[in-house]
Amino acid sequence: MKELSFLEDALGIKFKNQDLLKQALTHRSYLNENPDFKLEHNERLEFLGDAVLQVAVTEHLYREYPNPEGELTNWRAALVNAKKLAEVAENIGLNDFVLLSRGEAKDIGRARQYILANALEALIGAIYLDQEMEAVGSFVEKNILSQLPEILQGGSYRDAKSLFQEEAQERVGITPSYEVLNEWGPDHAKHFKVGVFLEDEQVAEGEGISKQEAQQKAAEEGLRAKGWNGR
């Protein structure tokens, strides 16, 4: 792992408590191989960072755009989904600093994408605890909200889950719900099967390495099953 000062320089943030930064970069799998490591893994920071990120993005969209709530919700989802957050994490160089087990370090597929997205949320949680909300706002505006013009131009904010909800509400007056049908695998490499429901009707199901991915896959299958193209 590189010196954290290099990451701080890249972020433009000097942590008062550098252990918070190190913890944000510590994946659960690393502790399995390094039980004497003095810090916890990053999942509690990720939990905090997810909420703080939602607030920062929501406040910015509310203040800057007069668009209706449904559109702002879709834009926010496009900004904070795992794929986008993993791209941001790559852009700021987190991949070189995340502490992983040897097995996880070899995986460069979708599992790594979610590890990076979660590490970014944990980093935001660490920034919040160390520097408070103003620093979070600056970080989010520079690295995440800056992606919004490209998202709006390309229309990528219309993800399957949002489309399925729009179509279901318009066509049958029901808001879809999602339920985890099954999950398996170790804590650091879970796999989920999720069903999408219209009240008591299970329309479709999807699988993924996070609940969010499984929900998106279920929504995609739901659109196909119902013959709804989202137009």
Residue 122 located in a structural domain: yes
Do 184 and 198 lie in a common domain? yes
Residue 104 bears catalytic tag: no
Do 188 and 122 lie in a common domain? no
Considering 109, 133, 154, which residue would you say is the last residue of a domain? 154
> Which domain covers residue 56, as residue numbers?
4-154
Query: Who's near 71: CB < 8 A, 6+ residues apart?
Result: none
Which one is catalytic: 46, 104, 121, 130? 121
CB 161 within 8 Å of CB 219: yes
Residue 201 bears catalytic tag: no
Phi and psi (nearest 5°) for 17? Answer: -115, 95
Residue 231 located in a structural domain: no
* CA atoms 120, 121, 122, 124: torsion sign: positive
pLDDT in tens, the chain (231 residues): 568 889 999 999 999 999 999 999 999 999 989 989 999 999 999 999 999 999 999 999 999 999 988 788 888 988 998 888 999 999 999 999 999 988 777 766 667 888 999 999 999 999 999 998 999 999 999 999 999 998 888 766 667 888 898 889 989 999 999 999 999 988 777 899 999 999 999 999 999 988 888 998 999 899 999 998 644
Q: For position 29, which CATH number holds? A: 1.10.1520.10
Which one is catalytic: 46, 50, 167, 220? 50
Do 133 and 167 lie in a common domain? no
| Number of domains into which the chain is organized | 2
